[in-house]
Structures are given as structure tokens and as C-alpha cells.
Amino acid sequence: MATPKSQRNWKARVKSGCGTCRSRKVKCDEERPVCRRCFLTGRVCEGYGVWGGGNTPSRSECPLMTGSDDLQIIARTLASIPLVTSNVEENGYFEWFRSRAARKLPGTFFSNFWRTLLVQATVQEPAVLHAVLALSAAHKRGPAEAYSAEKSAVMGSQERFMLQQYVRAIGCLQPHFSARDKASSRVALIACFVFICLDLLRSHFESAQVHLQNGLRILRETHLLPDKAKEVFHPKPDLEAADVWIIEAFSRLHLQVELLQHLHPHPCFILQPAGPESTPRDFHTFNEAWQALHSLFNDIFHLIHLSRHLPATPHHLARQQQVQTALAHWLTTFQTRLPAPEPPIPTFRHRFHIILLAYHTLATLLTLISLDPDNEALPDHHTPHFAHLLSQLDHLWSLSAADPSSSLVARRRIPGLLRDGVGVVDMGWLPLLFYVAVRCRVHRLRRQALRLLGSAVHREGIWDSGIVGVVASKVVEVEEGGFYEEEEDDEAVLPEERRLSGVEFVMLGAPVEEVVVFCRRRGDGAARRVVLARYDVYRKVWADNL
């Protein structure tokens, strides 16, 4: 006699499979980092919780760096995030995150941190969920601009929600701070990264750098980085995928800070992304090309640091030559594996191609002056490189201006701080333009850099186009000071005594209210850090100190 259906012996349902197989209600083979069933069927493996792998079907490549299929992959991934709260208001902001913020904020080079790990952590960890909801509210709120009373009321409501979610995220993190195990440290690091992004959107640049330093401290304390290294940290080998993605995310943010600080002496901390330590590295995709170039930038920054603190030695020269060889290998590989795209390839792929080449040009320039980084006359010997970099950026501007979806399309601009709400947390062209404007002393070229900076109405992580533009303009104004009006010759060499050394700027306030620009002045045989000028962001006026 047949056994009644209610009395059949059913096997207990396994809950340890990957998220994709569990949602499809099929057996998972639980291979790491990507289950074989998902791999063979071309599905996105959502991994085994926050800490257990997951990836795209066959590539670790950034979705926006490959083609339309990958664009569909990330769209499906974000759309498949389940609602994680029954609160209607929270669901609204969560929907904004997955449909808007999560697609926009990562910028040019997507990462597995944004595409996979943050998605998993948001679903499974309350601390990360509330941090993400706060980030979404800040992204939706946009800039603190003068609005109508009705709009201001809406923004006030969004501000209150954001602060509430931030406080709840901090509260949910307390048990993780006490536990100090691997899983809790990962939750803390992911939430810390989201807090940095939140601060960047809100123009809280000081707080963002504090959060970044806290994240780097946690990385050291959790032994994901070697204990003995004092300046250059290479992640330990054989890390789990989640750890690799976390380190990569923090390394990208730290690279932004290094680009902001490399013009002046400062404590050295180099965080290499996970991967082979040896250079040159091979690559096949845009994202892999950026990772290889990122590692080379770190090598260059370390060489600059050594040159500032130790006399030039044959060892320094050998390291410079090694970096130059690696950069040459990078360029050859890039041109062979990733040749310039031609129509009908989408415009954004042209922009990716150009921005990578432009950063290679910057890396080349930095390497050429790395053995004497504070010699302000040395860049004069490399004017062709500055001209080449500026031509690349001018081409990039032309492509972006022709693209209706680009952030360079003309927008209403409020004087002072950037207030149009267009921003990403990764780097773009702002560091490149700032470097040309400040270090190139060819009048024609640096003025062109300033014009391009003036066309920018967006933010790239810690690089705000409004702040970068006024600082660069101030440096040029102080250095040139009518010199070319008297000379009437754009090609005249700017005298050395007019040049500023060790330029740096600090953004104070939350949101930023004042920008203080420093430089180095020689006196009694030593260079002293002095205040050049202060900029009042809201009054839009400079107060000169020199």
C-alpha cells in the first residue's frame, strides 16, 4: 500500500549551500569560492553567506569593464537582493540603494566588494544594513543646496533618517567590537568602508580619513597584513575571497589619499592590493590592468618616500629602473591585450581606455622625478609627458561631453563647494588635472588644466572638483603673479624663486567650511611647513598668509 504523502520520510533540507542554489531549491556542491553548478550553468553564485565566496560565472572582471552581458549580470544581481526589512521607509531607501546608489557610487572600476560582498553583508548583517541605509539616504538627499521650503523639509526628513540609521549601525557593531573574531572583524571592516563612503558624500573629509585609518588599523590587528612590515603591507597569501575584496576596497581608498599627499613629506603607509607581489604583472581585462597599475603606483610612492628620507643610492636607482621596466611592460601588454576600441563600441569603454593610459602617463612622470621629488625644477625636463597627459585628458573631456549620460554635461553650478550631487567614491581625472596644474610650469599647459578643472562638476572620493579647482587656481596665481603679463611670452620659464614646494591642502569642517593650503619655505637651511592661504568655502574668499 502506498505510503501517505504526509508520512513519507523526507531528508532534512540542507541550508549550507550557496545563495543561488538555495533560492532555486536545488542541491549545491558547495565548492569554493564559486559552486560548480552555478559556474556550469552561467549563473551568478551568491556565495555562502557573507564570508563564503561567490562570484560571477566565469570572470572576476569588473562588470562595467567587459560588455553588455556583464551589465545584465550586475543588474540581475542587484535586482535579486531580497527586501530585508518590513519597515516601509527603510524599504524605500533600500530600493534606492540597489537601483541607484550601488550602481553609481563605485565609479569607473567596479569591484567584487561592491558587487558581491556588500550585497551579502547587507542581507545578513544588521550593522551593515543600517550603514547602507544611511548611505542611501545621503545619496538620495544629495547636496546641501538652497531649496524651497517644501524641498528643505524633505531633505530634513532624509537627514534625520540617515542619522537614525547611522546610530543604529553603530549600536549593532558593538557586539562585533567585543567579539574580535574573524567574522566580527569583517563586519566591522565592511561597515567602516560604508561609513567612509557616507562621509565622502556628506563632505566630511576629515572624518572619512579617520574612518580609513581605523579600517587600516583593524586590518593590521586582525593579522590580514604581516606584522613585521613597517611601511609596505602585502596581504598574506591564501586569503579567503572576502578578505581579498575588503583589502582591495581599502587599498583603493588609500591610493586616493596618497595621490593627495604625495607632493609633500608625510608618514608612509603603503597597502598593496592582494595578488602577486612581483612585477611586471600580466593582465587581460581593464580591471586587471588597473590593479596592476595600482601596485606600481604604490611602488612609486614608496620610492618617493625613501628618496625624501635617505640620500640617493644605487639601490634607489635600481628600484627606479625596475619600476620603469614594469611600466613599459604594462603599456606593451595594455596595447596588445586591450587595444583602443573603435565604433560602435560604447563611449564609456573609450573613456575607460583613456583614463588608464592617462594614469600610466602620471605614473611615468612620478617615476622620472622619484629620486628627487621635491626639486621643483625637475618637472621642467619632462614637459612632453605633461603635454601628453593633458592631451589624453582633453580627449577624455571630448568623449564625456559628447555623451548625454556623462557628469561633464553642463549643469547649474553653485559657487563654493560642489553641490550638484554627482559623485563617486573611486578616482577619475581630478587627481590628474590637479597634478598638471600644480607641477607643470608651462603657462599654456597649466592654464588648459585649470580650464578642464573648471568644467568638472562632480566628486571623486576625497577629490572634490570645487575644492581642487580653487586650490589649483590659487597655487597658479601665487606662483605666476602677473609674471606672464610682463613677459608676454607663454613659453617663458617661471623663475625658481617663484615656485611653491610641498603644496598640500587640508579640508576642515563637517561639512567642510575651510580649506587651508600649505607649502614649504626654506629658512635656516631647512624647509618649514607654512600656511599659504585659507579659503572660506561659503563666503568664497581667500585670506592670504604670505
The cell numbers describing 409, all together, are: 554635461
Shortest CA distance to 36 belongs to which of 21, 51, 16, 14?
21
> Would strands 512-523 and 501-509 be described as parallel, antiparallel, or unpaired?
antiparallel
> Would strands 463-464 and 459-460 be described as parallel, antiparallel, or unpaired?
antiparallel
Q: Is the pLDDT score of 277 beyond 80? A: no
Indicate the Cα dihedral angle 426, 427, 428, 429, nearest 10°: 160
CA dist., res. 150 & res. 138, Å (int): 18
pLDDT value at residue 414: 29
pLDDT value at residue 55: 47
Share of the chain above pLDDT 70, in %: 74
Contact 365, 386 (CB under 8 A): yes
CA dist., res. 169 & res. 132, Å (int): 9
On average, the pLDDT of the chain sits at: 78
Question: For 358-393, what is each residue's pLDDT tens digit?
Answer: 999 999 999 999 999 989 999 999 999 999 999 999
How far from chain centre, in Å, is Cα 489? 39
CA dist., res. 70 & res. 49, Å (int): 23
How far from chain centre, in Å, is Cα 389? 20
Question: For 289-344, what is each residue's pLDDT tens digit?
Answer: 898 999 899 999 989 998 988 877 888 999 999 999 999 999 999 999 888 877 66
pLDDT value at residue 536: 93
Q: Is the pLDDT score of 439 beyond 70? A: yes
CA dist., res. 98 & res. 101, Å (int): 6
Tell me which of 6-10, 205-209, 446-450, 530-534 is least confident.
Answer: 6-10
pLDDT value at residue 225: 62
Q: Is the pLDDT score of 186 beyond 80? A: yes
Q: What mean pLDDT do residues 411-417 have?
A: 32
